[in-house]
Structure 1
Amino acid sequence: MGWSSSGFAFAALLASAGNAAAPPAREADNGESPLVITSVVVLDTERGTPSAPQDIFIDKGRIVAIAPARTRAAPHDARHIDGTGRFAMPGLIDVHAHVGNGGSARQDDASRVVALGQFLRYGVTTVFVPGATGAGDADFPGLRQRCGSHAIVCPRIFGSGSIITARGSHPVSTIFDMPQDVPAAATEARGVTVLEPGQDIAALIAAKAATGVDAIKIVVEDGPPPWHPKPRLTDDQIKTIVDAAHARGLRVFAHVSTAQLTQVVVDAGADGIMHAPVDPLADATLRRMAERGIWYVPTFSLYDGILTWARKQREADPYALKGVPAAVIESLAAPPFLAASAETENEALGYLRNVSQNLHRAAAAGVPVALGSDVNNPFVYPGYSAHEELSKMVQSGMTPAQALKAGTAGGAAFLSASDRIGRIAPGFEADILLLSRNPLLRIENSRSIVAVIADGRVVQGSISND
């Protein structure tokens, strides 16, 4: 695949989409020569407005200029993409994305590389990886280096390194099914740090900061419900972690699943919650989150995945089938930890109702919302699940514009990177989705992907529902 003398060969790009074998994603070019997208409607996902047709000029991975169509000359060596009748929006940002494919079979580095490329094929150009296998303290620096150097094709990577949890708590004694006395090395291999009673928290945070992490993730969990009750981090430990992280300029994001534990982490000064609680949040909690700008990440896909297992929905979704390897879907006939859990379909439906209502109330209260799907839980597929999150946000009462903001500018602000990602503007990273339909009118139009541009490079094999 390559470039024609007058522009990009769109037919070749589209013909490569939807490969059921799902090889690692490839970049159709190395981004070394300038690129111009001509006569395209640019969507401002912060304000929810479309532009008149514009030309977008890209060079060395960045947007260097935007001008009204046909008013600015292109560099003589520029490649061209005809954007006539198309819509350009910022690449999607998933701020709760573990490294994996969302199946239940054992994964290795090769399968994780395929999963990372799958994010891009579905238009997710930036992810925040909150620990777990392949992205713990030992692995995260190398992962970011491989991605940043284009040694592998993957989104822009932010991360927390290993998750901090209490001994005997989630996910070690729940999803991992490890014993209470499991050695620290065994949990670190799965991207989880077990905080021992009396451990020097300041030293722990200093060591994590030295690895170059962007934030700290903690687990404050006495369940989840199928495994309740479990030990959890104490209130004093949470506050000490938050204070130590803030002293080093790192924010703290907390896994919670209940309204009561949300209040605990809000009181401790945490900067965001990484799941929507499955029971109703108090109005006072929402007011405080809004006042302090504490982030709210719903992860609808996590809960919806439980329903999918019971109802077999995603196995039949053509948009999933176009990009998710068949072996991944086949591995989910009876996901082990779901099959063994106590959660019934009725319980999951109740969780989803509360998650939806909590989001509606949070958005109405002015709580900042960012898109996060919790990729690599069963049925939570890389990239695909970001579009599911957008749809669920709108079904919960957000407008398409609000949902798109959560998935672009909101994610950038969550990552403290609003000065370089999350917008289509001069000086910003050239992370762009080219769509055939306007998602401001119907959120499912985010799936009408014509091309994905990440770091100024066109990704081969983008997945479209057209």
Structure 2
Amino acid sequence: MRRFLRYLLGMVAGLVAIFALGVLWPSATAPLPDAADSRLIRNARIIDVERAIAGEPTDVLIKGGTISRIGYGLRAAPDLPVLEADGRYLLPGFWDMHTHAFKLSPQLHLPLAVANGITGTRDLMDCPGSDDTLIACVADKRHWTRAAVEGRMVSPRFVEVASFYFERADMTPDQAARLAADYRARGLDALKVYNRLSPATYKRLTDEARLWGMPVVGHLPKAVSLDNAVAAGQRSFEHGHVFARHCFRDAAAWRSGALDAEVPTALVERMVTHYDAAACARAFAQMREAGTSFVPTHVTREEDARARDPAFTGDPRLAFLDPLSRWAYRDDLKSTVVRYPAARGEAALRGYFEHGLALTHAAYRAGVPVLVGTDTAIGGFRYHDEMALLVRAGLSPAEVLRAATLDAARYAGQTHRHGRVAVGNAADLVLLEANPLDDIAHTRGLYAVLLAGRLYDRPRLDALLDFTRAQARSPVNATKLVWGFSASSVNGEL
């Protein structure tokens, strides 16, 4: 018996040692871009995203990561690297306006974003304290941005970092104000609100943020009307739920909790069939006047609508997810099937998804700024899916490209450096094989990506994809993720 116990303890000690080794093992580094941040791009057709036209072939001179000259037949120093565009299509890099970064994102998410032409990212959930074992904190994201610009790592620029979400229903106004002050002191760009926040606490939070000039972003809390949230100054609303839940006949009853006992399938059907166009029209006008942005992330509602679809649940791109994320993704889909059972549930979710697309089209036509965001672990690939869904909603390819570039930069107040291929702007660019104004699917045909003038040519982009796929299968990363999740202060909330 003693021999068995010694053997068992030895095995446990060995497993603990292996686990600890995995946690402490150095993380892999993604393949870096070409080191030069100055180069000449020759014979590129520049997409003017504002005027929706593709120009004749021209040259673009980049110096120190900034576009310095544009014109045909430019001359450069003999030792300056040259990228031959051969008539391909050049436009600003894409910005994903709803993402979440984790400690292991440099191995699992950021290279995948760059490999898909995403050069800017808006992070919608920082860690709740000064550090966390799972969620990347604002200091990480600032460091990653600097390192990416300097060519020392692979990452988009982080263009806005929002706080951990304000969610607790029992949070008092004073508690929210103190927490907001802490987030502001830590250097966060925005405060994120979520579903269960009370109206009184929400009002105190938005009042404080307005005094500081700090945007409030995120969900629309259930108990707060969209009208009141826009009037309070919320800067952006996330996800396709926003208008569906506001623009139906029984919206006030839903906000009060009077419909909480209703079967989820019946509630979704009610939101679609009892659509209140007048309520939406008023909200659209209010948002247009306030300059309030909408980030619909239709790919997330597509996940609900297609939770039973084998072609969707078996998406081969899930191979780019680590085992923990892949399990969580599929578990979410299974939970959706249980919550909305049978053919009726599936039909209700598909109708709700299509309703969301129609509402996005109506909002955009009414002048509401619509931005492109994913909120999904395979966001690099799903970003192009989201652009395709926006076209399906009724936006033109030109309007979607503008939303993905110039409108995103306008939201962030960075049009002086981003959003156009223009002299003085940062050389964050994508070079496409075919004209995306003709077909939004052409955004997937990346020939090259540049970030701060540093080149990821097609072989480098392929290397990033290979790297991410390998990292998703890495036992070391799996160990780090398990440890990070188990030790995180917020694992019960995720």
Q: Does TM, scored on the shorter chain, surpass 0.5?
A: yes
State the alpha-carbon separation in 2 of the partners of residues 387 and 137 from structure 1: 34
Output aligned runs, 1:219-234, within 5 Å: 219=194, 221=195, 232-234=196-198
Instruction: Give, in angstroms, the shift of residue 257 of structure 1.
Output: 8.2
Give, in whole Å, the separation in 1 of the partners of 2:33 and 2:233: 44
Matches within 5 A, 1:354-369: 354-369=355-370
Q: Does 1:340 align with 2:335?
A: yes
**Aligned-residue CA RMSD (Å):** 2.7
Residue of structure 2 equivalent to 1:331: 326
Question: What is residue 301 of structure 1 aligned with on the other side?
Answer: 299
Q: Distance in 2 between matches of 1:239 and 1:160?
A: 22
What are the within-5 Å matches in structure 2 for residues 87-98 of structure 1? 87-98=89-100
Q: After superposition, give the CA deviation of every residue in 1:327-367 in whole Å (9 maximum; x if it has no partner).
A: 56993597223323414432321221121011110111011
Deviation at residue 157 of structure 1 after TM alignment: 0.7
Percent of pairs with identical residues: 27
In 2, Cα distance between equivalents of 1:198 and 1:257: 15
The one-character-per-residue Cα deviations of 1:367-392 (angstroms, maximum 9, x if unpaired) are: 1111111123xxxx121111111101
Match of 2:33 in 1: 28
Counterpart of 1:130 in structure 2 is 124
Alignment partner for residue 40 of structure 1, among 29, 39, 44? 44
- 2:11 alignment counterpart: none
Paired residues of 1:297 and 1:371 also in contact (CA < 8 A): yes
Amino acid at match of 1:414: Y
Aligned position for 1:396: 393
Q: How does 1:230-379 map to 2 (within 5 A)?
A: 232-256=196-220, 261-276=225-240, 277=242, 278-279=244-245, 280=247, 282-314=280-312, 320=317, 325=320, 331-332=326-327, 335-341=330-336, 342-343=339-340, 344-376=345-377
Decide which of 82, 85, 91 is 2:87's aligned counterpart. Answer: 85
Relative to structure 2, which stretch is displaced further, 329-338 or 346-355? 329-338
For 2:223 and 2:325, how far apart are their aligned partners in 1? 35
Tell me by how many angstroms 1:198 deviates.
4.2
1:419 aligns with 2:386: no
1:116–1:382 contact (8 Å) kept in structure 2? no
Aligned to 2:61: 57
In the TM superposition, residue 136 of structure 1 has moved relative to its aligned partner by: 6.7
Instruction: Show structure 2 runs of 5+ residues with no match.
Output: 1-27, 132-136, 248-278, 466-494
C-alpha distance in structure 1 between counterparts of 2:118 and 2:40, whole Å: 21
Distance 1:90 1:111, change over 3 A: closer
Tell me the distance in 2 between the aligned counterparts of 1:307 and 1:257: 23
Q: Which runs of 5+ in 1 are unaligned?
A: 1-22, 101-108, 169-194, 222-231
Q: Residue 4 of structure 2 aligns with which residue?
A: none
Counterpart AA for 2:118: V
CA separation of 1:167 and 1:263: change in aligned 2, threshold 3 A = same
Determine whether 1:452 maps to 2:449: yes
Residue correspondences, number? 386
Question: Is the helix fraction higher in 1 or 2?
Answer: 2
Question: Could you tell me how far apart the structure 1 residues matched to 2:288 and 2:425 are?
Answer: 28
What is the rounded CA distance, in whole Å, between the counterparts of 1:271 and 1:217 in structure 2? 10
Q: Which amino acid aligns with 2:356?
A: V
Name the CA distance, whole Å, in 1 between partners of 2:175 and 2:320: 44
Aligned mates of 1:52, 1:388 — CA distance in 2: 29
Q: Does 1:207 align with 2:205?
A: no
> SS of 1:348's equivalent?
helix
Q: Is the 8 A contact 1:35 1:59 kept in 2?
A: yes
- Aligned-pair CA distance for 1:137: 5.6
Distance in 1 (CA, whole Å) between partners of 2:156 and 2:117 is: 9
- Bigger Rg over Cα: 2
Relative to 1, partners in 2 of residues 1:358 and 1:334: Cα closer, same or farther, differing over 3 Å? closer
**TM-score, scaled relative to structure 1:** 0.76
Which residue number in structure 2 is paired with residue 20 of structure 1? none
**TM superposition score normalised by structure 2:** 0.72
Superposed CA deviations along residues 305-337 of structure 1, whole A, max 9, x for unmatched, are 22343213346667x47xx52656993597223
Q: Is the 8 A contact 2:173 2:205 kept in 1?
A: no
Q: CA deviation at 1:233?
A: 1.5
Deviates more, 1:396-405 or 1:141-150: 141-150
Change (3 A) 1:291 1:306: same
SS in structure 2 of the partner of residue 166 of structure 1: coil
Is this contact kept in 1: 2:64–2:453, CA < 8 A? yes
**Displacement, 1:282?**
1.7
CA distance in 1, matches of 2:314, 2:143: 36
Structure 1 residue 237, shift from structure 2 partner = 2.0
Over 3 Å counting, the alpha-carbon distance change for 1:418 and 1:127 in structure 2 is same
AA at the equivalent of 1:80? V
Mapped to 2, the partners of 1:258 and 1:362 lie a distance apart of 20
Compared with structure 1, are the counterparts of its residues 326 and 294 closer, same or farther at alpha carbon in structure 2 (3 Å cutoff)? closer
Pair 260,197 (structure 1): closer, same or farther in 2 beyond 3 Å = closer
